[in-house]
A and B are shown apart, each in its own frame.
Chain A
Amino acid sequence: MREIQLSLNKTQKIRLQRALEKLESLSSKVNANASVTIADSIPVSYEDGVLKGHGTLDLNGEVVATVCGVVERVNKLVYVRTLRARYKPEVGDIVVGRVSEVAPKRWRLDINYSQNAVLMLSSMNLPDGIQRRRTALDELNMRSIFEEDDVICAEVRGLQHDGLHLQARSQKYGKLERGQLLTVPPYLVKRRKQHFHHLEQYGVDLILGCNGFIWVGEHVEAKDDMVEDQVNKPKLQNIKSNSYSGTLEEQERTYTPIETRQNICRIANAVRVSAILGFNITAEVIMETVNLSSSLNLDIHEMLGSEFCVLVAEGEAERRSINKKG
């Protein structure tokens, strides 16, 4: 059994235990006995015919699980949904990844999948926003767009013969700067309509990547460069060529106010607490945790303490029981 790795005193231990038991009682009614482990046989009715999906294997006419997880049935299809496995990409997923290699015409990204994902130079918008063929010059300047170890947000395009391809054909995708990257187990992030969240009161962007990489960073206005007047461009380059004013501008551009940095850390710690406790991570849950911590006047570093974790667990139990009734 996976113990929650916290140093708890006696009362905290009991309170956490009680909160977890409450969660268990809430969920057990929904699908009891759907959990299987490796080599458990899954009961199926053969009259209707069975389609064996992921995580199953045929053994002498018996359907057997090959992973630990929860049995899901969709019409004839029977499959096992794993918990705690690596990310399994689906077309259209929004993922956050880290560049591991700059290769000819492509970047290779680590997205917590069994292979590195590929982002082709041709499947992303250039920073100048002009639609055109990618030339050899563009290929040489690839490092000016993304370098090794840059954090990038992109969308899953599909599985090609040479691996998993991503695309970043919108202003909302691209390099992520001034923030924190958090890694959580991918099963905690549910696929939703909305994965980009702008938390206006904090001036923070929150990107919940389907692959379990979560970005918390300063809010950047998604600007459409195409509309920008072409005449301005040379002027901008002039400023950059002047080294002194260039550094000043650089400072201006990369400066993040201390409040925003604190907000980023607070939200990041809220994500961490949810990940430690193994709770589903959504923007609402994170905001509730953040509000709880600020209403208690807790410092940011105190959020990872055992007392706050227990409080969050109790809050979550409360919230789910209300949702259940409502």
Chain B
Amino acid sequence: MEYVSPEGLRLDGRRPMEMRQIRAEIGAVAKADGSAVFEMGNTKVIAAVYGPREVQNRSQQMNDKALVRCEYSMANFSTGDRMRKPKGDRRSTEISLVIRQTMEACILTHLMPRSQIDIFVQVLQADGGTRSACINAATLALADAGIPLRDLVTSCSSGYLNSTPLLDLNYVEDSAGGPDVTVGFLPKLDKVTLLQMDSKLPIDIFENVMQLAIEGCKAVANYIREILLENTKQLEYRRGL
């Protein structure tokens, strides 16, 4: 199948190096300590953070750092065909683990000993790149909850189809079976915290594709930073004094 037309346009009309439109909103869940909605094109994810709070299971309590937990789920209505998946299926367990490890790497857990932080992410609309969208939403929610972070983690995916590196794959491109690289990136520290790839790529092409994903991460980071700064200013001036 042709994923990039001779004119250099993708199936949804984007250029190969173009991202989908991103939109973020802070404060979607009233009862949570921090929450956010993050959209990348038609992918829409909601994240809620609770904590740092008392550890629910005493045996998991750590005296030198906080316990970070993460739960990823997909709403039944999020995909094209409505299916009822059991809660702990292998895919969501794996993504929960990936998000937890990525977020734990940037949370300053040693500042909150004997407590736990819960991150809940749910996919409301799935159109490829849910993993990336979840990480971005979780970062926003953690920042909203006032949890100290080393840096903002942002994530973006890229792929390689029809001998062209493509940024931010959607569902159709994702399910084409080509390589799909998801990168989690710390923009200030200039470090990669997450790197996953399906299928395989020659090393020289892989470097290009990964660099493209990193550029995507930087763009997301700039947007998230704007949103957070605006939110902080709003809260401060509304409070007054």
A280 touches B240 (CB 8 A): yes
The interface residues of chain B lying within 8 Å CB-to-CB of A5 are 27, 30
A144 to B152, CA, bound (A): 49
Kindly state whether residue A265 has any CB partner on chain B within 8 Å: no
**Contact present for A38 and B227 (CB under 8 Å):** no
B187-A39 in contact (CB<8A) = yes
Is B241 close to A, CB under 8 A? yes
Q: Tell me, in angstroms, the Cα distance from A83 to B188 when the chains sit together.
A: 22
Within 8 A of B (CB), among A216-246: none
Residue contact A279 to B228, C-beta cutoff 8 Å: no
On whether A86 and B225 interact (CB within 8 A), knowing A66-B148, A114-B112, the answer reads: no
- CB neighbours (8 Å) of A24 from chain B are 233, 237
Stretch at the interface among B5-13, B51-59, B127-135, B173-181: B51-59
A115 adjacent to B114 (CB under 8 Å)? yes
Query: Cα distance A300–B34 when bound, in Å?
Result: 29
- Considering the chains assembled together, what is the distance between the CA atoms of A86 and B111 in angstroms? 13
Closest to A60 in B: B189
- Segment 82-98 of A: residues with Cβ below 8 Å from B: 82-86
B52 proximity list for chain A (CB < 8 A): 86, 114
Q: Which residues of A1-29 have CB atoms within 8 Å of chain B's CB atoms? A: 1-3, 5, 20, 23-24, 26-28
Q: What residues of chain A lie closer than 8 Å to B34, measured between beta carbons? A: 84
Q: Which of B25, B112, B151, B237 contacts A39 (CB 8 A)?
A: B151
A20 contacts B238, C-beta separation under 8 Å? yes
Give the residues in chain B near A83, CB-CB below 8 Å.
Answer: 146, 232, 235-236, 239
Interface residues of A in 151-207 (CB under 8 A from B): 163, 187-188, 190
Q: Give bound CA distance, A3 to B228, whole Å.
A: 13
Q: Which of A23, A38, A277 is the one whose CB lies under 8 Å from B149?
A: A38
A165-B131 Cα distance, complex, nearest whole Å: 42
A70 at the binding interface (Cβ < 8 Å): yes
For residue B147, give the distance in angstroms from its CB to the closest CB of chain A.
7
B104 within 8 A of A: no
With CB as the reference atom, state the residue of chain B lying closest to A316: B240
Contacts of A68-92 to chain B: CB distance below 8 A: 68-70, 82-86
Which residue from B112, B146, B151 sits with its C-beta under 8 Å from A69?
B146
B contact residues around A82 at 8 Å (CB)? 146
**A35 close to chain B: CB less than 8 A:** yes
Quick one: closest A residue to B54, CB to CB? A116
Q: How far is the CA of A114 from the CA of B67 in the complex (A)?
A: 11
Contact call B229/A66, Cβ cutoff below 8 A: no
Asked if B81 CB lies within 8 Å of chain A CBs, one says no
Bound together, the chains give a CA A85 to CA B33 distance in angstroms of 7
How many angstroms from the CA of A202 to the CA of B147 in the assembled complex?
40
Residues of A within 8 A of B233 (CB): 24, 35
* C-alpha spacing A1/B23, complex, angstroms: 11
B150 touches A84 (CB 8 A): no
Q: Verify B152–A38 contact, CB threshold 8 A.
A: yes
**Residues of chain A with a CB closer than 8 A to B25's CB:** 1, 3
Contact of B240 (CB < 8 Å), options: A23, A40, A115:
A23
A53 contacts the other chain (Cβ, under 8 Å)? no
Smallest Cβ distance from A238 to chain B, in angstroms? 43
Q: A39-B188, A55-B148, A190-B241 are in contact. Are A278 and B27 (CB under 8 A)?
A: no
Given known pairs A27-B236, A28-B237, the reply for A1 and B231 (CB within 8 Å) is yes
Contact A84 B146 (CB under 8 A): yes
- Shortest Cβ gap from B229 to chain A (Å): 5
- Indicate if the CB atoms of A37 and B225 lie closer than 8 Å: yes
Let me know if B152 and A39 touch, CB within 8 A. yes
Inter-chain contact A114/B115, CB cutoff 8 Å:
yes
Enumerate chain A residues within 8 angstroms of B27, measured Cβ to Cβ.
2-3, 5
Instruction: Indicate if B201 sits at the interface (CB-CB under 8 A).
Output: no
Q: Bound state CA distance, A23 and B237, in angstroms?
A: 6
The 8 A-B pairs with the shortest beta carbon distances in the complex, nearest first, are A85-B146, A114-B52, A114-B115, A39-B188, A27-B237, A2-B27, A66-B148, A278-B238
**Sample (26) of A-B pairs whose CB atoms are under 8 Å apart:** A1-B25, A1-B26, A1-B230, A2-B231, A5-B30, A26-B240, A27-B236, A28-B237, A35-B233, A35-B236, A38-B143, A38-B149, A38-B151, A38-B228, A57-B150, A66-B148, A68-B146, A68-B232, A83-B146, A83-B236, A86-B33, A86-B51, A86-B145, A114-B51, A114-B112, A280-B241
Residues of B within 8 A of A (CB): 25-27, 30, 33-34, 51-54, 66, 108, 112, 114-115, 143-152, 187-189, 225, 227-241
Interface of A toward B, CB cutoff 8 Å: 1-3, 5, 20, 23-24, 26-28, 35-40, 55, 57, 59, 64, 66-70, 82-86, 100, 110, 114-116, 163, 187-188, 190, 277-280, 316, 320
